[in-house]
């Protein structure tokens, strides 16, 4: 099994699926507000790009975050 | 055997004590349940159900296809057993044969409700006080034991005929009759050798299996006994050099017995007037005392007589003796009665005043020494603590229907050891050089400890001295419970005769104790003094006393059942020759109380409240055409009935509301409840069953998760776990019942509620607009109710002119007349008005300044009420709660803290509560506040505030309690981030004892353990409070865990350790924010450590049972634990490298290939992980030839993350949503990375995801009920699916989620056919637990 197979997926409404692979460097460091600023940053950036994201999930982790993300977009913008 | 000249003989061993003997003689021990079942199968093949009742334990065994299908035993809470019946027979001066005959003959057994033998005993004594005929009591006892058996042991299990009754108790004809009637058996087979079935079974089993142990060298036993040393750490001897104990106490005693009386010197010749005298009569459970004093308070006569179940006879004997000795010389000017039988005797002999025991005892003590400030009084069935300041009672406490820490406990134990309590007990125990540590708490637990010590070979005197310590510890921890102990301490009551107890008091408190003269009759003396003072002030000085001649009149006592209501009270009718009318006693209400005073004119606000509440239920509308839905009148329906009734009516349903709680409902509940829980849960079961009996098949039972609607100061307002899970518990108990159970979380708005209602009523196809409309009206009705209540409350409070009582507590407890013993009505008869707590104008009181972590709705309301009551000098609270109430064990302390110096009375009520005790306590409380008002109205404000230090962590040492080895991961991660940290040492008996000393004993066990650890460290030498922080996570409920840190803060403050900080991150979203302050990589390191250590634990559990050389696996485990710890601290070490090597090393251990059944261990996370708390349960299971699959720690952390995510979602906190998602990704990532090193090696590697767990648990409990229950239930099903042979639920005694799991496991066990057992722990070693576990593993093995 390769660890790199695990990635965060952002599913766009429609057929296209976007996501990025996780790396150790993503999980480095933390400050008083968030545990993993790098990773959080990437997620926020991704959610900004995909304006109508409905699902955000970790591969092999189906349906974990099933929320309507319209409001996320508002916040992210 | 030698006697019988049996050459060819063999020995088989079974029974609880047989185990040790078997070990010594190197014989295989046979579990007694298996032995009993085996004998029955062989000798009575038709029998399918066995009731076995021996001296100390009772069993219920169900057989099927030549195997044990199911079994149940009495747990740590021992219900009626044989030795209990034995003791009661002795107490009533009956031989056990007479007892048996009496019980069989009588046709009307008295109702003795008794789950616990101690309560049953209290009930019985109460019946004796009210002169119930002995034969009725005897029969009632048998029925109580049978009902106990049905309620606590059978717990709804089927009784398949034929049924056999075995064990020594089966010889009791009365018990056979009771079982037949209680269970409705046509036939109950009592085998000829019923008491020997276990032994016969053991022998048969050994014979059939060919394991014959011949020529056993019995002498080895003698050698063993000779070589034994006690295992428990001893306590200091009762008397040490320099104590001057003998000089102070033994001499004192001789002084007392020499001349306690004042010489009577008038009357005989008629030349001088008779001496004016006053008599006090104290009618107690064990002894009845009479004292006569003169005008100057000199004692003229005293009698100490045994009550022996016959209070009237005892008083008559006393009067006869006094009459003969001094009747001619004295003229009785006044009589006062006190003690539990005071009302009846007052009417019978003609008393001028009736007072409670507290006031009487204090008056007695003050007559001897005005400067006394503390009174310890230990009588037969009750014990009291009284605090006095300047001659005024300022505080008091009585044991709450629990007989631990009372004289009769000591007497019973002494009888068990064949020791005379009067002559030998003190002599033996004062000789002890190393008294045993027997633990404290309930009588039955102490009995277990005692037996365990004796079995281990402890010396008799050491056990006796240990008992003396136990009774003192119990008294100090449970009765005094942290209240002030002064400098001038009097020890009164009959137990003060026992010098061993006096010595134990001195050693335990570190203070000198004074045993006053006539300490056994101080109550009677006090009463005589009170009546003297009253009569002096009275205008009319004629006494109501009927004279000493009363002894010549005949007294007739009969009893009947009152049928005025469904309570069916047993009423006793006493008639005195020459007097018209009868005296009646024994009813719950005042129907037969001739002194009933209706002229008080006090408005009954409780009736007002209840009528207002129930006015929203309109039975006429119930006849409508809509489907019938039942509403049980339980829990939050006592507040929210208007809302739900209106809603259901508006939706077109016919509503059937269960009646007000009555005894019939209570009895229905106690018989159906599936696990030992609190009284309201039993009442709730009773209401549901009542509805079912009236033909209702569908009940409406919402799961109230959060009843704060966002408008309150607190975002969270959780009801207690039982309230939340009652729909699931009801479903588990009544399978055929349809339960409509919407989730009620008011913070989530109307939209959520409407969708929940729509889903739960899905079969009725309700449109959301219809629900919306109905909900609007329902909410208006609810608001109307609250407004009316508040208006009424406001007008009452504004017009207050005199002292008024506020009844504090939860509505379903304190305001339900079927539950609250009608305390408000009883207060009214003595002209004291009372107000329900929720009528107080408490809106606008903000308690967040001190109690921001209070997540229980009831706690918020109670503390608010406390703050209001404190501010109003006319209000005094009476707090009505229940035994075993989880939240109350914490809320009470906060309530006390909030009230400051204002006194309050706490009444604990359950199905066994007797009215008499409650009234005594109310009266004494009223006396004490009266005295207070007159003497010292000053209150002081305390300034201690709970503080959560979140600063300067880097400069301090963080101490982490050793819950499990995972604590090292946390410590290492802190070290890694540059924070000094230390894992506290493993809990020991000393820490446990410290914890118990500062807590009331009602908190959950993990709280006691961790508090003990914290105090031990904080009070150790070299501890720097400035630079230390204790780590104790918080929580958001509904379980009690989140309150540990708040309580520990209070305790540390009280100990003067305000500087000691507690770091308590909360488990939801803020958990990570709090931890994030520590420094970089803390979170990541901790998680890595937890996963690695979890894997290490799994390796140990899988390898150890198979290792060829014992100890090898543990050795490798210890080595790797250290290695992982070091690696986690360091910056460059590779954990993965360590893990890879770890697998290799564990794999290299030489192993046996035998197959062992796997036992799943689930339950409360602390007790299941902490080997001290669970008495090494894993080792025990392994020693029985099974291996363990322990639910992992990670499961909880994933769950916390899951909950944090859910909450973030509900709050729409997007930053938190993202954050918890990222963390989960990281956690999963690490978990998968580490797990891959163990693929193909560990069988138990698989752990389900939180969502899978929730989905698996869903048929039994919804995930909206947060906490460990859902994890335990989901994990249980997961384990069963992975083929475990049985499930052990490990829990702290009285743990709320644990109790819910116990009830739900019954359903799971039935559905999946896998045996499940719950093992509660409370820090007292119990033979019963070992035996249960033993039998359970046997059962699991036979299925594996």
- The residue ranges of every structural domain in chain A are 3-76
Give A8's contacts in chain B (Cβ within 8 Å): 1225
Instruction: Say yes or no for a CB contact (<8 Å) between B1232 and A6.
Output: yes
Mutate to test the interface with B, among A30, A44, A53, A75 (most CBs of B within 10 A): A30
CA distance linking residue B884 with residue B201, whole number of Å: 39
B504 pLDDT exceeds 50?
A: yes
The stretches of B1033-1134 forming alpha helices (DSSP H) are 1044-1054, 1069-1076, 1082-1103, 1112-1129
Q: Mean per-residue pLDDT for B67-91?
A: 67
- Quick check: is B346 in a domain? yes
Chain A contact present for B310, CB below 8 A = no
Query: B201, B216, B231: which is the final residue of a domain?
Result: B216
Query: What pLDDT is stored for residue B1328 in this prediction?
Result: 64
The stretches of A15-56 forming alpha helices (DSSP H) are 37-49
State the residue for tokens 């003590």: B365
Per the structure, the complete domain to which residue B485 belongs is given by 370-515
Task: Return the ∠ at Cα B342 (arms to B341 and B348), rounded to 5°.
Answer: 95
Domain identity same for B1188 and B1269 = yes
Domain identity same for B562 and B695 = no
Chain A contact present for B1233, CB below 8 A = yes
Token pair of B388, please? 């006095």
- Quick check: is B1102 in a domain? no
- Assign B944 a pLDDT band (cuts: 50, 70, 90): very low
Domain identity same for B638 and B778 = yes
**Chain A (44-73) residues lying within 8 Å, Cβ to Cβ, of chain B:** 44, 47, 56, 58, 60-61, 64-65, 67, 71-72
CA distance linking residue B1013 with residue B960, whole number of Å: 10
The 3-state DSSP class for residue B387 equals: strand
Angle in degrees, 0-180, between the axes of helices B1250-1257 and B1268-1281, rounded to the nearest 10 = 90
Instruction: Say yes or no for a CB contact (<8 Å) between A35 and B1232.
Output: no
Give B1224's contacts in chain A (Cβ within 8 Å): 58, 61, 64
Q: Quick check: B730 and B701 in contact, CB under 8 A?
A: yes
CA distance linking residue B828 with residue B607, whole number of Å: 12
Instruction: Say yes or no for a CB contact (<8 Å) between B1221 and A56.
Output: yes
Query: What pLDDT is stored for residue A71 in this prediction?
Result: 42
Token pair of B941, please? 């404000």
Instruction: Say yes or no for a CB contact (<8 Å) between A34 and B1215.
Output: yes
| Residue among A22, A64, A75 whose CB faces B1214 most closely | A75
Domain identity same for B392 and B540 = no
- Quick check: is B258 in a domain? no
- For the ranges B208-212, B415-419, B424-428, B619-623, the lowest mean pLDDT is seen at B619-623
Chain A contact present for B1210, CB below 8 A = no
- Assign B110 a pLDDT band (cuts: 50, 70, 90): confident
| Residue among B1077, B1209, B1236 whose CB faces A32 most closely | B1077
Give B1214's contacts in chain A (Cβ within 8 Å): 71-72, 75-76
10 Å CB burial of residue B850 (0-12, 13-18, 19+) is middle
| Chain B residue nearest residue A72, CA to CA | B1214
| Residue among B1073, B1205, B1217 whose CB faces A33 most closely | B1073
Segment A27-39, tens digit of pLDDT: 766 554 556 777 7
DSSP letter (8 states) at residue B149: I
Query: B878, B900, B935: which is the final residue of a domain?
Result: B935
Give A64's contacts in chain B (Cβ within 8 Å): 1221, 1224, 1251
The size of the A-B interface in CB pairs under 8 A is 80
CATH of the domain at B877: 3.40.50.11900
- Quick check: is B1125 in a domain? no
> Which residues are CB-neighbours of B63 under 8 A, at least 6 positions away?
B37, B40, B41, B47, B48, B49, B50, B69
Closest-CA distance of chain B to residue A15, Å:
23
| Residue among B1084, B1215, B1219 whose CB faces A27 most closely | B1084
Q: Mean per-residue pLDDT for B1151-1164?
A: 92
Closest-CA distance of chain B to residue A52, Å:
15
- Quick check: is B177 in a domain? yes
| Residue among A35, A56, A72 whose CB faces B1076 most closely | A35
Segment B225-263, tens digit of pLDDT: 666 554 555 788 888 877 788 877 776 544 443 335 555
Domain identity same for B578 and B657 = no
Segment B352-407, tens digit of pLDDT: 988 888 889 998 998 888 889 999 998 776 788 888 877 777 777 776 545 566 77
- Quick check: is B229 in a domain? no
Domain identity same for B831 and B919 = yes
Domain identity same for B307 and B397 = no
Query: B596, B621, B652: which is the final residue of a domain?
Result: B596
From start to end of B194-347, where are the E strands? 275-283, 287-294, 299-306, 330-338
Token pair of B18, please? 């047989």
- Quick check: is B1266 in a domain? yes
Instruction: Say yes or no for a CB contact (<8 Å) between A67 and B1209.
Output: yes
Closest-CA distance of chain B to residue A40, Å:
6
- Assign B903 a pLDDT band (cuts: 50, 70, 90): confident
Domain identity same for B60 and B203 = yes
Domain identity same for B557 and B501 = no
The 3-state DSSP class for residue A67 equals: coil
Instruction: Say yes or no for a CB contact (<8 Å) between A30 and B1232.
Output: no
Instruction: Say yes or no for a CB contact (<8 Å) between A33 and B1076.
Output: yes
Domain identity same for B577 and B459 = no
Q: Mean per-residue pLDDT for B811-821?
A: 89
Query: Measured in whole angstroms, how far is the alpha carbon of residue B1071 from the centre of its chain?
Result: 32
Q: Mean per-residue pLDDT for B1135-1159?
A: 93
Closest-CA distance of chain A to residue B713, Å:
25
Closest-CA distance of chain A to residue B1232, Å:
8
- For the ranges B128-132, B496-500, B670-674, B898-902, the lowest mean pLDDT is seen at B128-132
Closest CA to B430 of B251, B234, B252, B237: B237
Closest-CA distance of chain B to residue A35, Å:
7
| Residue among A30, A32, A61 whose CB faces B1083 most closely | A30
Q: Mean per-residue pLDDT for B849-862?
A: 90
Domain count across chain B: 8
Instruction: Say yes or no for a CB contact (<8 Å) between B1221 and A30.
Output: no
CA distance linking residue B768 with residue B442, whole number of Å: 54
ipTM: 0.80
Chain B contact present for A77, CB below 8 A = no
Strand order in the sheet with B58-64: B67-73, B58-64, B49-53, B163-166, B188-189
Query: What pLDDT is stored for residue B256 in this prediction?
Result: 43
Give A35's contacts in chain B (Cβ within 8 Å): 1072, 1076, 1083-1084, 1219, 1222-1223, 1226
- Quick check: is B1209 in a domain? no
Instruction: Say yes or no for a CB contact (<8 Å) between B1223 and A35.
Output: yes
- For the ranges B92-96, B905-909, B1151-1155, the lowest mean pLDDT is seen at B92-96
- What is the β-pairing status of strands B287-294 and B163-166? unpaired
Domain identity same for B623 and B766 = yes
Domain identity same for B525 and B511 = no
Give B1215's contacts in chain A (Cβ within 8 Å): 33-34
- Assign B307 a pLDDT band (cuts: 50, 70, 90): confident
Segment B379-391, tens digit of pLDDT: 776 788 888 877 7
Mutate to test the interface with A, among B1091, B1212, B1225, B1249 (most CBs of A within 10 A): B1225
Segment B462-484, tens digit of pLDDT: 888 888 888 888 888 777 877 77
CA distance linking residue B1264 with residue B1255, whole number of Å: 12
B107 pLDDT exceeds 80?
A: no
Q: Mean per-residue pLDDT for B928-955?
A: 52
Q: Quick check: B1058 and B1052 in contact, CB under 8 A?
A: yes
Chain B contact present for A20, CB below 8 A = no
């Amino acid at each position: 099994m390769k660890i790199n197979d695990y990635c965060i997926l952002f599913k766009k409404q429609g057929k296209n699926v976007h996501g990025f692979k996780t790396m150790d460097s993503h999980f480095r460091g933390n400050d008083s507000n968030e545990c993993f600023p790098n990773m959080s940053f990437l997620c926020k950036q991704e959610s900004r790009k995909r304006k109508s994201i409905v699902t955000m999930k970790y591969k092999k982790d189906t349906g974990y975050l099933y929320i309507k993300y319209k409001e996320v977009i508002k916040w992210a913008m | 055997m030698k006697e019988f000249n049996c050459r060819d003989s063999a020995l088989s061993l079974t029974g609880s004590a047989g185990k040790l003997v078997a070990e010594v003689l190197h014989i295989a021990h046979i579990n007694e349940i298996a032995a009993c079942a085996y004998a029955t199968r062989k000798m009575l093949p038709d029998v399918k159900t066995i009731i076995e009742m021996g001296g100390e334990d009772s069993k219920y065994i169900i057989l099927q296809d030549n195997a044990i299908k199911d079994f149940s035993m009495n747990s740590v809470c021992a219900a009626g057993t044989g030795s209990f019946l034995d003791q009661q027979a002795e107490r009533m001066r009956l031989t056990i044969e007479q007892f048996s005959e009496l019980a069989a003959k009588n046709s009307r057994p008295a109702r003795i409700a008794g789950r616990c033998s101690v309560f049953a005993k209290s009930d019985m004594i109460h019946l004796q006080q009210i002169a119930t005929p002995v034969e009725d009591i005897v029969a009632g006892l048998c029925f109580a034991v049978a009902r106990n058996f049905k309620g606590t042991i059978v717990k709804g299990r089927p009784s398949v005929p034929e049924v056999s009754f075995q064990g020594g108790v089966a010889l009791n004809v009365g018990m056979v009759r009771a079982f037949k009637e209680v269970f409705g058996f046509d036939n109950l087979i009592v085998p000829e050798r019923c008491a020997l079935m276990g032994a016969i079974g053991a022998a048969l089993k050994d014979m059939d299996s060919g394991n014959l142990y011949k020529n056993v060298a019995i002498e080895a036993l003698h050698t063993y006994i000779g070589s034994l040393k006690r295992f428990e750490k001893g306590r200091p001897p009762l008397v040490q050099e320099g104590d001057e104990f003998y000089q102070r106490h033994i001499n004192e005693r001789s002084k007392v017995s020499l001349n306690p009386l004042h010489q009577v010197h008038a009357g005989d010749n008629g030349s001088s007037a008779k001496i004016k005298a006053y008599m006090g009569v104290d009618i107690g459970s064990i002894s009845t005392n009479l004292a006569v004093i003169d005008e100057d308070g000199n004692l003229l006569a005293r009698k100490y007589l045994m009550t022996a179940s016959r209070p009237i006879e005892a008083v008559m004997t006393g009067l006869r003796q006094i009459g003969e000795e001094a009747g001619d010389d004295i003229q009785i000017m006044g009589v006062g009665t006190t003690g539990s039988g005071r009302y009846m005797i007052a009417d019978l002999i003609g008393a001028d005043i009736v007072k409670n025991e507290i006031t009487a005892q204090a008056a007695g003590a003050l007559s001897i020494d005005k400067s006394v400030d503390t009174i310890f009084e230990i009588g037969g069935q009750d014990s009291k603590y009284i605090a006095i300041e300047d001659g005024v009672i300022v505080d008091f406490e009585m044991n709450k229907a629990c007989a631990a820490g009372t004289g009769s406990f000591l007497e019973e134990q002494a009888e068990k050891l064949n020791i005379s309590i009067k002559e030998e007990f003190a002599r033996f125990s004062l000789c002890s050089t190393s008294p045993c540590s027997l633990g404290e708490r309930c009588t039955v637990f102490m009995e277990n400890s005692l037996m365990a010590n004796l079995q281990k070979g402890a010396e008799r005197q050491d056990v006796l001295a240990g008992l003396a310590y136990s009774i003192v510890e119990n008294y100090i921890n449970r009765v005094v419970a942290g209240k002030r102990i002064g400098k001038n301490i009097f020890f009164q009551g009959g137990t003060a005769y026992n010098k061993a107890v006096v010595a134990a008091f001195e050693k335990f408190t570190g203070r000198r104790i004074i045993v006053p003269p006539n300490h056994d009759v101080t109550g009677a003396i006090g009463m005589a003094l009170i009546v003297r003072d009253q009569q002096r002030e009275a205008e009319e000085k004629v006494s109501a006393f009927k004279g000493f001649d009363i002894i010549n009149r005949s007294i007739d006592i009969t009893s009947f059942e009152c049928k005025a209501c469904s309570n069916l009270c047993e009423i006793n009718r006493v008639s005195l020759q020459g007097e018209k009318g009868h005296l009646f006693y024994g009813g719950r209400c005042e129907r037969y109380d001739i002194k009933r005073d209706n002229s008080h004119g006090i408005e009954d606000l409780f009736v007002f409240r209840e009528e207002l509440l129930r006015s929203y239920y309109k039975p006429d509308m119930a006849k409508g055409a809509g489907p019938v839905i039942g509403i049980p009148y339980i829990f939050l329906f006592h507040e929210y009935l208007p809302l739900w009734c209106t809603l259901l009516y508006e939706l077109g349903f016919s509503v059937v509301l269960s009646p007000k709680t009555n005894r019939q409902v209570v009895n229905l509940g106690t018989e159906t409840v599936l696990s030992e829980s609190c009284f309201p849960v039993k009442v709730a079961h009773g209401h549901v069953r009542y509805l079912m009996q009236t033909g209702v098949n569908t009940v409406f039972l919402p799961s109230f998760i959060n009843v704060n609607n966002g408008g309150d100061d607190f975002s969270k307002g959780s009801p207690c776990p039982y309230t939340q899970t009652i729909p699931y518990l009801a479903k588990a108990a009544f399978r055929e019942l349809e339960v409509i159970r919407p989730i009620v979380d008011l913070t989530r708005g109307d939209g959520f509620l409407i969708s929940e209602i729509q889903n739960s009523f899905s079969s009725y196809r309700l449109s959301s607009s219809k629900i919306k409309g109905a909900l609007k009206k329902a909410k208006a009705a609810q608001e109307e109710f609250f407004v009316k209540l508040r208006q009424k409350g406001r007008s009452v409070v504004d017009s207050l002119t005199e002292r008024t009582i506020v009844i504090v507590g939860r509505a379903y407890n304190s305001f339900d007349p079927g539950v609250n013993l009608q305390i408000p009505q009883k207060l009214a008869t003595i002209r004291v008005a009372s107000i329900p707590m929720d009528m107080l104008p408490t809106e606008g009181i903000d308690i967040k300044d001190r109690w921001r972590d209070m997540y229980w709705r009831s706690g918020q309301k109670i503390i608010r009420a406390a703050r209001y009551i404190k501010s109003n000098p006319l209000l005094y609270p009476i707090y009505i709660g229940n035994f075993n109430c989880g939240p109350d064990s914490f809320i009470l302390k906060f309530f006390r803290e909030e009230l400051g110096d204002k006194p309050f009375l706490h009444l604990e009520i359950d199905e066994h509560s007797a009215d008499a005790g409650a009234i005594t306590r109310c009266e004494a409380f009223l006396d004490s506040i009266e005295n207070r008002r007159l003497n010292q109205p000053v209150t002081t404000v305390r300034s201690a505030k709970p503080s959560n230090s979140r600063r300067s962590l880097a400069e301090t040492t963080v101490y982490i309690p050793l819950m499990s080895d995972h604590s090292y991961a946390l410590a290492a991660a802190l070290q890694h981030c540059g924070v000094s940290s230390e894992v506290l040492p493993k809990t020991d008996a000393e820490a446990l004892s410290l914890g118990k000393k500062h807590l009331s004993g009602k908190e959950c066990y993990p709280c006691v353990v961790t508090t003990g650890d914290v105090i031990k460290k904080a009070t150790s030498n070299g501890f720097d409070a400035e630079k230390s922080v204790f780590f104790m996570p918080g929580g958001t409920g509904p379980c009690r865990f989140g309150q540990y840190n708040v309580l520990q803060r209070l305790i540390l403050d009280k100990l003067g350790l305000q500087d000691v900080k507690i770091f308590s991150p909360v488990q939801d979203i803020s958990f990570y924010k709090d931890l994030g302050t520590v420094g970089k990589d803390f979170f990541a390191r901790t998680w890595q450590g937890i996963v690695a250590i979890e894997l290490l634990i799994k390796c140990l559990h899988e390898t150890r049972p198979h290792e060829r050389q014992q100890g090898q696996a543990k050795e490798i485990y210890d080595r790797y634990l250290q290695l992982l710890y070091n690696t986690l601290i360091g910056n460059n070490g590779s954990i993965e490298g360590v893990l890879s090597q770890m697998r290799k090393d564990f794999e290299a251990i030489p192993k046996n290939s035998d197959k062992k059944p796997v036992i799943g261990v689930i339950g409360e996370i602390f007790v299941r992980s902490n080997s001290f708390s669970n008495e090494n349960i894993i080792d025990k299971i392994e020693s029985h030839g099974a291996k363990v699959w322990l639910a992992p720690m990670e499961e909880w952390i994933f769950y916390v993350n899951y909950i944090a995510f859910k909450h973030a979602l509900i709050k729409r906190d997007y930053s938190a949503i993202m954050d918890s998602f990222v963390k989960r990704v990281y956690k999963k990532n690490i978990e998968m990375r580490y797990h891959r090193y163990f693929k193909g090696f560990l069988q138990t590697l698989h752990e389900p995801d939180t969502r899978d767990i929730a989905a698996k648990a869903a048929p039994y409990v919804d995930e909206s009920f947060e906490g460990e229950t859902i994890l335990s239930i989901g994990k249980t099903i997961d384990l069963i699916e992975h083929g475990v042979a049985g499930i052990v639920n490990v829990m702290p005694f009285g743990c709320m989620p644990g109790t819910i799991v116990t009830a739900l496991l019954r359903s799971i066990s039935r559905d999946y056919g896998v045996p499940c057992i719950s093992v509660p722990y409370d820090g007292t070693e119990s033979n019963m637990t070992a035996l249960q576990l033993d039998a359970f593993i046997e059962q699991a093995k036979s299925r594996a």
